[in-house]
Structure 1
Amino acid sequence: MAEHDKVKKEVSLKMNFILNSILAASNFIFPLISFPYVSRVLKAAGNGNVNWATDFVAYFAMIAGLGIPTYGIKACAKVRDDRKKLSHVVQELFIINIVVSLLSATALTVCIFTIPKLREDKKLFMICGLIIFFNLIGMEWVYKGLEKYKFITVRSMIFKAIALVGMFLFVHKESDYLKYAVLTIFASSASSVLNLLNIRKYISFKKTGPYEFRKHMKAVSVFFAMSCATIVYTKLDSIMLGFMINKKEVGYYHASVKIKEILVTIVTSLGAVLLPRASYYVKNNMMDEFRRISGKAINFVMVLAAPLMLYFMIFATEGIYFLAGPEYTYSIVPMIYIMPTLFLIGLSNILGMEMLVPTGREKIVLYSVIAGAVTDLALNLIYIPKLGAAGAALGTLVAECVVLIWQCVVLRDEIRGLFKNIFAWKILLGLLIGSASCFWVKLLPMGNTEKECFIKIIISGILFFGSYGVTLLVTKEKITREIFDSVIGKLRKKKN
């Protein structure tokens, strides 16, 4: 019976990972599909306007969230088997969220009407500010804590598809950047309305006892501080570029970041799925299970992130030219600088969100992120005036190195055992063979038009990832072999 439950949990975890990968990727697939079109219609300046406003408002959305989007997952996962307790926890966190969201929205409104650079485009900033309201009513942390990834994924994909169609119908000229902003907010947040309507299936809003807001505040404050520090070095680059240089430079920077963002969401999807499961294991003192999934997660990230990082560094020019066009040539170097963060973020996400947070060591994550934020701020002040978008990318790369090193030092005794079963030489050999198999594609006598870059990406991608995967299978790399056997097993079942 215990073995049956273990298999059932494993299947559930794999399905949650697949669904969350789709969900996470969809958050960037919409802008990634739309970007080749929008970049040519709105140009670098128009794109820079929308991205700058979105990143600026992100600070206020972060304040409004108060760390609840992460803490809420952990809190809900612990009491998910008791509807009454779950309802009580959700009510307490939702009330806190309402109060802080109102304060944050008020502060944003004051800034929009008093800061000259914001007042110039107040409609755009007000549109982007709607994200605060949608985040509040969406309560996505409840669904993630309960591992309801199917519902989250399906409704999210529907709204993104509607927004994508709307973009091609309504965004036709440079002055349509406000319409693009509306559609971007709709794609990412309209499903929050369905979340609110559906939430009564899992909780009740009927008060069941006295509220104890204070018991949440200590943990919430730590997660909030983590969010503050993280957003400093993930969004500060754009804000500083906009103020120190111009919004066109923001457009160049965001073009280089687009590809990285979708790849990061795929790499970190496993960590998002594992947080509620890991919290549940720790709460029930199932430490062997906790260590098992932690080891698998680290192995998975190394196998997946390393080839994605290297491939898109080698073919950065083709990627940028295909997605954005020759106007975005200045995005190529920033993209090369920022690609190694795929590997760094993937590992720090597992160490932080799947190992430190479930075991109650959020403060260590906070300190590592603060160190990264300070590093990023200092390097931005030095390099942005000299290098522009490339300087911002360089600052982010070093900041992510600092975060990962900090966490590795703290967890050195625990992760030593987890890394024993990971054979890095197999991954390195796969990368070497993959690179050798496709590098000749760059030497083909072809130009850099969209069509030619697309052909290069298709040929090189098949060669690189095909050679890499075959190498890992031949050398019997553990996680690759598991995935391969699982896929083959399912195909045989269907055939039979």
Structure 2
Amino acid sequence: MKQKQHSIHYNFIMNFILSASSILFPLITFPYVSRVILPVGTGKVAFAMSTAAYFTMAAMLGIPTYGVRAVAQNKNDPVKLALVLKELLCINLFMSLFAYAAFGAALFLVPQMAAEKTLMIIASASIFLNVIGVTWLFQGLEDYSAITLVSLIFKVIAVVTMFLFIHTEQDYLWYGVMTVLSSFGSGFVNFFRAIPYLKAAKGMEMDFRRHMKPIMVFFGMTVATTVYTNLDTVMLGFMKSDYDVGIYNAAIKIKSLLVTLVTSLGTVMLPRLSEYASQNRNEEFKALISKAISFVLLFSIPVSLFCMVMARPTILLISGQDYLAAAMPMIILMPTLVLIGLSNITGIQILVPTGKEKQVMISVCAGAVTDLLINCLLIPSMASSGAAIGTLIAETVVTAWQFWILRSMLRKILPKTEWKQLILVLLVSIPAFWLIRLEIFSSLPVFIYLAVSGIIYFGMIGITLLLSGEQILNGIIHRKV
């Protein structure tokens, strides 16, 4: 099947809509769910999903990232594309059998899992749905419109499920169902959409060995990433209580939602950058990287500053009075938006397309070890705040390592970044924060206060960027990105 190649602008808009829906969906669901099933209930579901993520990681190996690159490099040859899809899907299905065998054993041997067997089984559906969903195929083909549409449909279904079935504190199992459905339900549809792409490989002999070396490198990278992105929640569950997990989950959920927006441009750029790298189109490669860095800095820094200043009302609105202890972990976590955005560029957008994924793995392993050590030291005494500090330091280590590896390339790219616009944004933030902290605004009901504050703050920044000629925002408005 011949796949139409859309512009970066179109793909960015589609993926931004998908990312925005990931923000909107929790804004609709979590304020309701958190007040009904309370911190203990949300903590149980967060623990189950974080635990299932480790088994999903084993089933997927490193294919979600490697697959995007492999598809992008072969998308113009239907036969090679079909063979790559068939081989990688078979590897995933084979590994999922081992993942489920290990999960079944853990379900009976680990007391924390055995105590919530039904919830754990619900969470384990994410393993199968991830495998058959082959999202990496459609990302490599840059088919973001279909990815977005299917995801939105399942998010709507999940919202309906929430209001129909979640009414009491004991209904946290339905919250687990809703979480799996909204995040991974599209796997069913994507699998059937992938079948036509397999036809060209009918009868062809498969060669799994050619994929194993890069897959294992990406797998090592994924292991380390999954460890330190889920380690905080899992360690809190084992070392503290469901309540502490629930408090931390309220903070980490906001951070995770914003990360999807910060990395939305990078997601759509990976296939194009892989294509440029394979064709030695170096100037176009560097131009896209420069644009990505500008986007991350101009988006993540204002957003992280706003969320740090408005942490308490944000937690109060989204999660409720019972979760106010999450304000401090949220403040600690917000700088990671900038760090993750930058490491997403250096790691996923530069090192991976240029075949240097081993360096990404090393950096992420360093971050994982750092996170483990900091968590062991701080979680016993500081609980969720200690876990947040561990994450912040780990992300700093990952970003610093990758910047050091790419220092010669970045010396040529960074001067082209929109530093003037960033300085203007920081200068405008000072009077904006002074204005929104005035009593005339802060005394308003929390929803109205956040809405007015957001309009004032981001409105002032948006106007500043437009007047200063910032490329991405002006390009989106004039459809030139």
Length-normalised TM-score, structure 1: 0.93
Deviations 1:446-489 (A, max 9, x none): 888xx7111211121111111112223333334344344449x9
Aligned position for 2:225 = 230
Q: How does 1:383-462 map to 2 (within 5 A)?
A: 383-444=378-439, 452-462=445-455
Q: Distance in 1 between matches of 2:22 and 2:60?
A: 18
Moved over 6 A (4+): 445-448
Structure 1 residue runs of 5 or longer lacking an equivalent are: 1-7, 490-496
Residue 479 of structure 1, aligned match among 456, 472, 479: 472
Q: Distance in 2 between matches of 1:36 and 1:422?
A: 38
8 Å contact kept, 1:301–1:346: yes
Residue 163 of structure 2, aligned match among 165, 168, 173: 168
SS at match of 2:416: coil
1:201 CA drift (Å): 3.1
Deviations 1:140-174 (A, max 9, x none): 11111111111111111011101101101110000
Residue 466 of structure 1, aligned match among 445, 459, 465: 459
Q: How does 1:209-224 map to 2 (within 5 A)?
A: 209-224=204-219
8 Å contact kept, 1:319–1:457: yes
Q: Distance in 2 between matches of 1:465 and 1:51?
A: 31
Question: Matched residues, percent identical?
Answer: 45
Aligned position for 1:334 = 329
Residue 122 of structure 2, aligned match among 120, 127, 131: 127
Structure 2 residue runs of 5 or longer lacking an equivalent are: none
8 Å contact kept, 1:352–1:365: yes
| Greater mean deviation of Cα atoms: 176-185 or 34-43 | 176-185
1:339 CA drift (Å): 0.4
Q: Distance in 1 between matches of 2:252 and 2:473?
A: 28
Q: Are 1:298 and 2:293 an aligned pair?
A: yes
Deviations 1:396-426 (A, max 9, x none): 0111111111011111111112111224343
Q: Distance in 2 between matches of 1:463 and 1:391?
A: 33
Aligned position for 2:196 = 201
Q: How does 1:55-74 map to 2 (within 5 A)?
A: 55-74=50-69
Task: Report the AA paired with residue 76 of structure 2.
Answer: D
Aligned position for 1:373 = 368
| CA shift in 2, pair 1:398/1:116, >3 Å | same
| CA shift in 2, pair 1:238/1:409, >3 Å | same
Task: Report the AA paired with residue 395 of structure 1.
Answer: G
Q: Distance in 2 between matches of 1:454 and 1:82?
A: 52
Aligned position for 1:137 = 132
SS at match of 1:89: helix
Aligned position for 1:100 = 95
SS at match of 2:159: helix
Q: How does 1:313-324 map to 2 (within 5 A)?
A: 313-324=308-319
Task: Report the AA paired with residue 80 of structure 2.
Answer: K
SS at match of 1:273: helix
8 Å contact kept, 1:16–1:147: yes
Q: Are 1:154 and 2:145 an aligned pair?
A: no
Q: Distance in 1 between matches of 2:138 and 2:245?
A: 34
Q: Are 1:115 and 2:110 an aligned pair?
A: yes
| CA shift in 2, pair 1:447/1:409, >3 Å | closer
Q: What is the number of residues matched between the two proteins?
A: 478
| CA shift in 2, pair 1:478/1:198, >3 Å | closer
SS at match of 2:469: coil
Q: Distance in 2 between matches of 1:475 and 1:117?
A: 55
Q: Are 1:382 and 2:377 an aligned pair?
A: yes
8 Å contact kept, 1:52–1:242: yes
8 Å contact kept, 1:68–1:93: yes
- Give the CA RMSD over aligned residues: 1.8
Q: Distance in 1 between matches of 2:238 and 2:27?
A: 26
Aligned position for 1:360 = 355
Aligned position for 1:492 = none
Task: Report the AA paired with residue 453 of structure 1.
Answer: V
